[in-house]
Amino acid sequence: MIGAFVWLRLVEWKLSVIDTISWLYQYGAWGLLLISVILFAIFYDKLEKPIARVYDLLSWIGASWRRRAIKADIQSNINAFSRTVDKEVPNTMPYNMKLKFVTEVDRASLLRDKKLVLVRIRDRKHDDKNFVHAMIAFCPAGVIPASRTYLDECLCDAVDFTVTRKFLNAIQYQSAINYLYKEIIEPATTEKPELDKLCRILDRLDEQGLFTKVVLRELRDFGGKAGSRYPTAAHRNETRQFVGYMDTIARRAPQEECDTEFQGNCISMGFVFIGTSPKIKQEGATPYLRAIQWKKGLGIQRFYVAARDWAIDVAERTGFLAEKRNLAKILKRTEYYATDSSGQRRKHILIEMQPVVSPFAAAEQGRLLEE
């Protein structure tokens, strides 16, 4: 009842936070309790880690408090990581997770009404092992969930292992990383050599900053484009071929010629790589605008203008001119540091663009651009 009155006062009179707290204070203990509940609900995401620390301080009391401490710690770290990835590429990790220790087999299920993944794992008595198994169980339901049915088993496992490794690297948990490799990944890849190959490909793509920004981005959209269609071998082949194409892009040496478009039934994308200094000095952004024009004529639905170091300015100018000439619109612009194919860590830019629908044919667009 008091909660309803509080809500009405906030809506009708638009009281400031201080006025609202002062008003609640007159209700004594009930008012203070309600203040605590409201603040907890509003700032829950920020309170997860402090709550985990409190449980950790009390873990010496007994096993139940230790489990509460590790559960809160795992939840807060996985949820923070998920929010970070999902902020970079929306809807790739759209759910928070809730952990529960059980005596049965590890599993996870989506609570649709709460947009929450409930993860159930056995308590391994070692924190690093619990971190690994919680994340491994969470990934199938929490990472690109809409596209899972269209990926084969090996690719799903490779994605899960790569995301888990990224998570453990992000929280700098070395003993958990060692456990992941020795006890989870090595036995799985020994049994499935193809899985080892896929893990190495995704690791290479992650090192170059392309795993989340491009691979998960495109695989995320695959489920939406496939709709509710029955998963077939054609779907699984297309996603595998896409990963193979991305590996070719990652291995590509400077100035090496390779196909820069991937055109499947559900994935339609490509790259525009900003080239060498002599070419840019002679022609500026014109060759790259022609490349955008060409991709538009082929019906490519999305492409990425990629550059590094001194060529970043040219990439930005290319994106600006493409928008100005109504060739394409910029969806997202990302600057980041990553390791290139030669092992050097350098500054990169990735400009995600979408062709603008035009009534002109590709050849007519070409003449207009040159004129």
- Rounded to 5 degrees, φ, ψ at 242 are -65, -45
Q: Which of 314, 327, 335 is nearest to 353 (CA)?
A: 327
- Rounded to 5 degrees, φ, ψ at 227 are 65, -135
Residues 57, 194, single domain; the answer is yes
pTM of the model: 0.80
Of 162-166, 183-187, 344-348, 357-361, minimum mean pLDDT range: 357-361
- DSSP annotation of 103: S
Sheet arrangement for strand 268-273: 261-263, 268-273, 302-308, 345-355, 328-339
* pLDDT for the residue numbered 61: 55
* pLDDT for the residue numbered 364: 41
Domain-embedded: residue 307: yes
At which of 177, 206, 235 does a domain end? 206
pLDDT of 18 above 50: yes
* pLDDT for the residue numbered 33: 57
Sign of CA pseudo-dihedral 138, 112, 50, 60:
negative
Residues 6, 87, single domain; the answer is no
Number of domains in the chain: 3
3-state secondary structure of 148: helix
Domain-embedded: residue 23: yes
209: which residues sit within 8 A by CB, 6+ positions away?
336, 337, 338, 348, 350
Residues 18, 71, single domain; the answer is no
Residues 158, 281, single domain; the answer is no
At which of 206, 240, 273 does a domain end? 206
Domain-embedded: residue 244: no
The two most distant CA atoms of the chain are separated, in Å, by: 79
Rg, the chain, Cα only: 25
Residues 63, 191, single domain; the answer is yes
Domain-embedded: residue 224: no
Residues 57, 199, single domain; the answer is yes
Residues 31, 86, single domain; the answer is no
Instruction: List pLDDT tens digits, range 68-85.
Output: 888 989 999 999 999 999
What is the arithmetic mean of pLDDT over 219-229? 90
What pLDDT band is residue 228 in, cutting at 50, 70 and 90? confident
Instruction: List pLDDT tens digits, range 24-69.
Output: 556 665 555 554 555 554 545 555 556 555 545 545 455 666 788 8
* pLDDT for the residue numbered 49: 58
Residues 30, 138, single domain; the answer is no
125: which residues sit within 8 A by CB, 6+ positions away?
none
What is the arithmetic mean of pLDDT over 144-159? 96
What is the arithmetic mean of pLDDT over 261-272? 96
Of 35-39, 161-165, 336-340, minimum mean pLDDT range: 35-39
Domain-embedded: residue 228: no
Of 96-110, 231-245, 350-364, minimum mean pLDDT range: 350-364
What pLDDT band is residue 344 in, cutting at 50, 70 and 90? confident
DSSP H helices, 252-336, are 277-283, 286-298, 312-324
Residues 166, 66, single domain; the answer is yes
Instruction: List pLDDT tens digits, range 279-336.
Output: 677 788 899 999 999 999 999 999 999 999 999 999 999 999 999 999 999 999 999 9
Domain-embedded: residue 344: yes
Range from 108-117, 273-282, 297-306 that averages highest in pLDDT: 297-306
CATH of the domain at 267: 3.30.110.20
Q: Which of 284, 218, 224 is nearest to 249 (CA)?
A: 218
Residues 59, 198, single domain; the answer is yes
What is the arithmetic mean of pLDDT over 245-269? 91
Average pLDDT of the chain is 84
112: which residues sit within 8 A by CB, 6+ positions away?
none
What pLDDT band is residue 252 in, cutting at 50, 70 and 90? confident
DSSP secondary structure of 185-235: IHHHHHH-HHHHHHHHHHHHHHHTT-IIIIIIHHHHHHHHHHTTPPP-HHH
Residues 190, 272, single domain; the answer is no
Domain-embedded: residue 233: no
Measured distance CA(255)–CA(204) in Å, rounded = 19
Q: Domain of 6? A: 2-42
- DSSP annotation of 285: T
* pLDDT for the residue numbered 91: 95
The encoded tokens of residue 29 equal 């203990």
What pLDDT band is residue 354 in, cutting at 50, 70 and 90? very high
* pLDDT for the residue numbered 97: 94
Residues 191, 93, single domain; the answer is yes
Domain-embedded: residue 231: no
3-state secondary structure of 106: coil
The answer to whether residues 95 and 145 touch, using CB atoms and an 8 Å cutoff, is yes
What is the arithmetic mean of pLDDT over 102-122? 90
pLDDT of 98 above 90: yes
